[in-house]
Structure 1
Amino acid sequence: MGQLPPGVENRGGRLIRILTKTAADGSEREQIRPVSLDWEEAKSQHVDYYHPQLGWLLWGRKLVTDRSVGSRMMDDTTAVAVHEEDRPRVVTPQESEE
């Protein structure tokens, strides 16, 4: 299977990682979270995935820690501002009857 991400164990053919959580009363408990080695599978099954540059993604989509400034600066995705008149208009049920 190759090298597993840090903290991942193979138990009975299932990949898991064990996290220690602290409750409000100060007690600690273990949380067992399923892990996938494939990002698409992690997103569809809502399990954790380890990305080599970004770290752990909970449920296949939410970063555990915030990204570094350097990581954000290298991100080549863009957002385009759209003027209000160019946005698609949502018609309410009352307007559609008129």
Structure 2
Amino acid sequence: MIGTILWAIIGGIVLGVLARLILPGRQNISVLATVVVGILAAFLGGLVATWIGVGKTNGVDWIRHGIQLLFAIVGIYITAQVSTRRGGRSGAAMR
């Protein structure tokens, strides 16, 4: 159980960073928000992968990781949009 949580945190950090690299443009959200979204994406993506039957395969679970990355990309996008609407700095304000 502890190992699963630790791997979700580590994977979440990696997923959050990858999602920010994949998304075009600049996302004005904190590093903490990136990590939290990545961790949530790791958990939710793992659950969805298990529900559809691809959570545990022989070797590397590429489909599960792809689902997790998709969740992270959507989560980062939504977080960035909400942050900008709530008065966060937009790209135009930083110029």
- TM-score calculated relative to the size of structure 1: 0.27
Point out the structure with the larger helix share.
2
Higher Cα Rg, which structure:
1
Structure-2-length-normalised TM-score? 0.27
Q: Which has the higher strand share?
A: 1
